[in-house]
Structure 1
Amino acid sequence: MKILITAETYPPDVNGSAQFARRLAHGMLERGHEVHVAAPMPTHGPSRVMADDGVQEHRFRSHHAFTHPYFRLCFPWEIAREVSHLFDEVQPDVVHVQCHYILGRLVIHEAVRRGVRVVGTNHFIPENIEPFLPFPDWFIKGYRKVSWWDIARVYGRCDVITAPTPLAVRTMVDNGVADRAVAVSNGIDAGHYEAAADEDVRHPDHPVVLFCGRLAVEKNVNELIEAIALIPRAKNVHAEIVGEGEQRERLVRLAHERGVADRVQFLGFLTDEELRRAYLRADVFCQPGTAELQSLVTLEAMSASTPVVLANARALPHLAEEGRNGYLFTPGDPADLAAKLQLVLDASPEQQRAMGAHSRAMVSQHSFTRTLDTFERIYGGANR
């Protein structure tokens, strides 16, 4: 098949949606399909075509969204004709759109007009963007309603609608999206994160709590720092924070204010291999975010047989079985987070290994191979 994947955020952007879109593109390429990607230019400049190991990237002229650190907007009056030319050139058999914003809706409109099969996957909830809107609460509430109305209207034109988890599907339907959406996991190559049989993973001489993700408001990394400060210093618990974002300076200041700067390490961006080893050496993985529709980083940590402590919000409760692979904590309550982290860290080595093993077993249902199989069927005409 000729597959056109459309993404409003795509590498070098660092977020779950962008990473999924690229993995999907290259996964389909490896299965013998011709794959094209439509995405915004990551920098200033005219539209252009770039090659990425066999995937053709059609990058459209874009402009920086001034309230967001990296998100870029394509203006319809600049690219509408180029989108039409893209269809003329590629003549795709199927279009798979990853977002409902400007580029996504233009591609859906063109595909419907030409009778091309359209699959729409939603990775978005309004809460993802609300922290970047400098408006009062009354405006934000109105924006949320309008945003869901817009999502329902745009995705209503798709032949198949998907979201990463059953909870994400239910959230969409509850907010007006057609009641025919299906859950398809973003998927993960679990074997990539396992320790090799002869691999020597060096653990620090102190307990390590790991966080990985964008340092954004909705990730609530401040609650992890507050929790570290509440754990008795004698336990010498350290936090390793992987990622960058607009909240970094604020979080560094908070660590100093709470007297834990010597036990909170900001590691920035890591290579895939460095991140894999960070998962393996961690004693527990923490995700305090409250706007997660799946959380690939949590699945990656679980693939590395790491216990988890997660916020009891959105899709995260599906990834923690209380006492078996970790615990849930109440969002906004650092004391509860500290208590749950200590339940894992104070457990015996045998109990910690058992929790890690259960994490690894839970990930099996999120095989990326299964995800590719499902989307291949959907591209070919199936409804799920």
Structure 2
Amino acid sequence: MTDPTGAKPMTIMIASDTYPPHINGAAQFGYRLSQGMRKRGHDVHVVTFRDSVGPSISGPEDGAMIHRLRSHSVPTHEYWRICLPWEIKKDIVRIFDQVRPDVVHVQCHYMVGKAVVEEAGRRGIRTVATNHFMPENLDPFLPFPKWFKKIVARNSWRDMGKVFRRAAAVTTPTPLAAKAMHKHAFLRKVLPVSNGIDAAAYELRPDEEVAMPENPMVLFVGRLAEEKHVDVLIEAVSKTPPEFKLHVEVVGGGEVRNALEERTAELGMSDRVMFRGAISDEELRLAYIRSTIFCMPGTAELQSLVTLEAMSASKPVVLADAMALPHLVDEGVNGYLFPPGDSDALAKKLTTILSLSDEDRKTMGKASREMVNKHSIDETLSTFESLYRGDAAADKVE
């Protein structure tokens, strides 16, 4: 595939503090963005962390050139790594000298993103900045009291404003997230641009048959972190009528997995909850197809790509009434919202869907699939191409 506008290909530098093998929405978006732009004929370079000990290295990964910077483990997190500014500065200068990008697209305002924005500014290179951050995302890294976390969150918003004000265009996945950036980071112009999704990738293929589980299954996909509140889902399922024999499939790893397994055992749910850890993209696709309902109990979702993926697989959804999740629910049509942290309310919503006929559940799933159409990945890529080139229409923001 090439750029549908027929314009000259660009050399694009994408910078992010999180990227595969990290498993989270921002990392997945960065990967899909790099792959999408590469398939459109652009020369794509990704600047991110190295996921092991050693000096900065560069090399091709899935067709894109990945520049992985020297990094260090974080004692408060099982897999996260950070890049220290004074260690990566020279490497970033070197990468700019080698790549000579036409445009830079940063996915964060932390160490890597900030350093790349500063270097791009010194060289007069157009910069686009996208925010995937919420203060709650910091909780796993900060084993401190809430009052201290509030101070850190406030300072992080302030730093975001300082870094992103240097960009020619600033985006975030949803209007609600843009509003939060206006309020907390004091950024006047923020363009809501969906992370985008290839909805067809999660549908049954022609003549494909997938073995369905014996019992109904509610699926959760995501990092097992405090703000995801997977414990609320497990408790809710334990409160659903026993005759439904509802099971839970949990996909993803993270710092609270052991605590979740302990809570599952306490509830006598070990035979009904399956922790699968990290799985391949194809295994994940099949998990969506096999599921009966998708649930996202998290309270810090700027868009929730995994919810969009489940909706693409034509599944009813039950989501926490928090952050951007309400935008993905047409109450009673494709699913339901529940008050965050309320396992009783979640149990009732799950029971409502389980009580429907197979045909009515399929109708809810079809409604989910139809709602995803406005989140086309092709439209997202075209929007960013326009922002990269500085097209006047793309720069118009609320």
**Which TM-score bucket, shorter chain as reference?**
over 0.9
* In structure 1, distance between residues paired with 2:86 and 2:254: 31
Paired residue for 1:225, among 218, 221, 234?
234
SS in 1 for 2:271: helix
* In structure 2, distance between residues paired with 1:305 and 1:207: 15
Paired residue for 1:246, among 248, 255, 265?
255
The share of aligned pairs that are identical, in percent, is 54
* In structure 2, distance between residues paired with 1:53 and 1:213: 23
For 2:212, the equivalent position in structure 1 comes to 203
Kept in 1, the 8 Å contact 2:241–2:351? The answer is no
Q: Is residue 146 of structure 1 aligned with residue 155 of structure 2?
A: yes
Alpha-carbon deviation of 1:52? 1.1
Paired residue for 2:172, among 163, 173, 179?
163
* In structure 1, distance between residues paired with 2:79 and 2:213: 34
Q: Which moved more, 1:321-330 or 1:68-77?
A: 68-77
* In structure 2, distance between residues paired with 1:153 and 1:277: 43
Paired residue for 2:40, among 31, 34, 37?
31
Amino acid at match of 2:280: T
- Two-structure CA RMSD over aligned residues (Å): 1.0
Kept in 2, the 8 Å contact 1:313–1:331? The answer is yes
Kept in 1, the 8 Å contact 2:244–2:354? The answer is no
For 2:4, the equivalent position in structure 1 comes to none
> Runs (4+) of structure 1 moved beyond 4 Å?
none
Alpha-carbon deviation of 1:243? 1.1
Alpha-carbon deviation of 1:89? 1.2
Alpha-carbon deviation of 1:6? 0.2
Alpha-carbon deviation of 1:130? 2.1
Paired residue for 2:64, among 55, 74, 89?
55
* In structure 1, distance between residues paired with 2:146 and 2:321: 24
TM-score of the pair, normalised by structure 2:
0.95
* In structure 1, distance between residues paired with 2:66 and 2:25: 19
Kept in 1, the 8 Å contact 2:177–2:302? The answer is yes
Paired residue for 2:307, among 283, 298, 301?
298
Q: Is residue 235 of structure 1 aligned with residue 244 of structure 2?
A: yes
For 2:377, the equivalent position in structure 1 comes to 368
Deviations 1:253-279 (A, max 9, x none): 111111111111112222111111111
* In structure 1, distance between residues paired with 2:125 and 2:134: 27
Alpha-carbon deviation of 1:177? 3.1
Q: Which moved more, 1:170-179 or 1:373-382?
A: 170-179
For 1:16, the equivalent position in structure 2 comes to 25
Alpha-carbon deviation of 1:201? 2.4
Q: Is residue 41 of structure 1 aligned with residue 50 of structure 2?
A: yes
Kept in 2, the 8 Å contact 1:155–1:177? The answer is no
* In structure 1, distance between residues paired with 2:143 and 2:266: 27
Mapping of residues 284-363 of structure 1, within 5 Å? 284-363=293-372
Alpha-carbon deviation of 1:131? 3.4
Amino acid at match of 2:363: A
Mapping of residues 26-175 of structure 1, within 5 Å? 26-175=35-184
Deviations 1:291-339 (A, max 9, x none): 0001110000000000000000001000011100000011111000000
Amino acid at match of 1:333: D
For 1:2, the equivalent position in structure 2 comes to 11
Deviations 1:181-235 (A, max 9, x none): 1011111010000012322222222111111111111100000110011112222
* In structure 2, distance between residues paired with 1:25 and 1:197: 29
SS in 2 for 1:59: strand
Q: Which moved more, 1:303-312 or 1:251-260?
A: 251-260
Q: Which moved more, 1:284-293 or 1:264-273?
A: 264-273
* In structure 2, distance between residues paired with 1:70 and 1:79: 20
Amino acid at match of 1:26: Q
* In structure 2, distance between residues paired with 1:349 and 1:157: 53
Deviations 1:140-189 (A, max 9, x none): 12111111111111111110000011111111111133211101111101
Paired residue for 1:187, among 182, 196, 200?
196
For 1:258, the equivalent position in structure 2 comes to 267
SS in 2 for 1:262: coil
Kept in 2, the 8 Å contact 1:10–1:22? The answer is yes
* In structure 1, distance between residues paired with 2:321 and 2:235: 17
* In structure 1, distance between residues paired with 2:87 and 2:16: 17
Kept in 1, the 8 Å contact 2:76–2:140? The answer is no
* In structure 1, distance between residues paired with 2:62 and 2:288: 28
* In structure 1, distance between residues paired with 2:312 and 2:326: 17
Kept in 1, the 8 Å contact 2:13–2:46? The answer is yes
